[in-house]
Amino acid sequence: MYKKVSTNLNFVDREKETEKFWDDNHIFEKSMENRKEGPTYTFYDGPPTANGKPHIGHVLTRVIKDMIPRYRTMKGYMVPRKAGWDTHGLPVELEVEKLLGLNGKEQIEEYGMEPFIKKCKESVWKYKGMWEDFSGTVGFWADMENPYVTYDDNFIESEWWALKTIWDKKLLYKGFKIVPYCPRCGTGLASHEVAQGYKEVKNNGEECIVACQDMGIQDWKLVGVFSMDDITSLAPYYSTIIAIIMGINIIFVFLCSTLLTYLIFKPLRKIENHMQIVENGEFITMPVDDYDNEITNLRKVFNHMILSVKALMKRVKDEERIIAKGKLDIIYAQINPHFLYNTLDAISALALMEENEKCFQMIQALGNFYKNSLNSGLDYISVEDEIDCIESYITILNTRYENQIAISYDIEDVVKHEKVLKLLLQPLVENAVHHGLNGEGGNIEIKVFEQEDEIIFIVSDDGVGMSDEKIEDILAGRTVTGKSGFGLYSLIQRIRLTYGIENPVIIQSEVGVGTEIIVTIKKIKMEK
């Protein structure tokens, strides 16, 4: 019915299992497809560089960046989450130069610009697989199959277009900044590129740090000298700044973990506990919050499953009970030992009194009754044969009770050959004789007619009638005395199972006036 949630706290295995489930079932793609009609929410995220390894700092930033698109997706927005790769040039070029043993533009041109660029593009993707695996592990959703790449011509041209648009709107300003310059590379250098290597030295007795960068012009080098006193004087300031940043990060991580625990893990724990209750056999639903999120939807689905299981279990039990009672009642109605014995006793008495004609009539009626009711073991009989069965039944009763029962029929010709559940009228007539007429005689009327795709049976009598309480007892199967009450309730159950009609029988009665029972069934197309 449902997959049991393990209480094993091996979070690594759980996360891998969840990640595999997301991949196998394309959950990320479905989250976008299900919201394609919603408003678009665009989240711009600076892409990582695929030629550098991911580290612990990227875990925090990717988790934080992933929370915003997920939140907007939960709110019903269509959030396109296109992955990207930053392939910024100079660091990649320097790395390839070292790899190929080249020094300067002239050697690059001798090597060939096209093969050099090709090597640069290959170097860019050095750690691409590691980044993709890392993103999946931390649950970062993005379209990795169709990323944008900064060295792509379309992307470069889009950057040019954006820059020109900004220029046309006079949103650019011109300023000046002193930066290290590399004559060999013909470009400015970042601070981390300048400080690729350094040494601690003493200059006039003062401790200094010397940073050096090869200029690529003969043996020229760019050298920077920094006093250790100047650096260390700033150490407390930097230490304070670092401590503050670390403190803020710790508080932020704590708040995020608390929020995640409150919003996700705590509700999931409640669901797990409730599943254990259900596992123990208590099929009760969970309370559902008004919030529209995945946890609430999970509770709704779980409750729907519980209700479906309860309904199915009830239906199976009811059907088993009804089938068992129905089979017993059919057998009892087909071969009623008391009815058979009393009829045979009456025949014997008539034979001793030499009432040959009456004896012959009862034997004929009895044989015809059981011929039609048994019907070679088949469940269905024509309306015409059902009426013949009732006529035989009334003939036997009138022979025994001195013609006290008058019966009339109003049967439409169009329904005479329709197939119906056998022994459908017998419990109704029996109820009229024993409860309505109370064994004192009277009139019974049977009407059968067609109404669209249904057949209507009406059995009425002018007997003593029934109270509303007794009618409710009969319809609910609470009658404990008398065969007819149980027979009528069993008939209701058999009609429900056979025709799928929830309330097939209506009883209208007035004490001292009479009773009318209306039975509705559906037409059945019998296979030839």
Determine contact, residues 212/223, Cβ cutoff 8 Å.
yes
Judged by DSSP in three states, 52 sits in: coil
What are the sequence ranges of the domains in the chain? 9-175, 263-315, 335-522
Judged by DSSP in three states, 124 sits in: helix
Quickly list DSSP for 335-395.
T-HHHHHHHHHHHHHHHHTT-HHHHHHHHHHHHHHHHHHHGGG-SEEEHHHHHHHHHHHHH
Tokens representing 474 are: 């009969």
If one counts every other C-beta atom within 10 angstroms of the C-beta of residue 507, the result is 19
Tokens representing 171 are: 């949103």
Burial of residue 404, with CB atoms counted within 10 A of its CB: 0-12 exposed, 13-18 middle, 19 or more buried? middle
The H-or-E segment that residue 418 falls in is none
d(CA 486, CA 490): 6
Q: Which CATH number fits domain 263-315: 1.10.8, 1.25.40, 2.60.420, 1.10.10?
A: 1.10.8
Quickly list DSSP for 228-297.
HHHHHHTHHHHHHHHHHHHHHHHHHHHHHHHHHIIIIIHHHHHHHHHHHHHHTT---PPP--S--SHHHH
Q: Which residues contact 498 (CB under 8 A, 6 or more apart)?
A: 379, 421, 521
pTM of full prediction above 0.75? no
Judged by DSSP in three states, 527 sits in: coil
d(CA 306, CA 1): 10
CATH 3.40.50.620 for the 9-175 domain, yes or no: yes
CATH fold of 335-522 reads Heat Shock Protein 90 (3.30.565)
Give the strand pairing for 442-451 and 419-421. Answer: unpaired
d(CA 210, CA 230): 13
Determine contact, residues 499/522, Cβ cutoff 8 Å.
yes
Distances (CA, A) of 177 to 91, 174, 401: 21, 10, 124
CA angle 466, 470, 471 (to 5 degrees): 80
Token pair 């939960």: residue: 74
Mean pLDDT in runs of 10 for the chain (528 residues)?
67 83 89 90 79 80 87 91 80 79 83 87 81 85 86 89 93 79 66 54 68 60 69 70 86 81 71 76 75 74 81 79 61 55 72 76 76 67 87 80 82 90 82 70 89 92 86 75 58 80 89 90 74
* Residues 416-431: b if buried by 16+ CB within 10 A, e if exposed: eebbbbbbbbbbbbbb
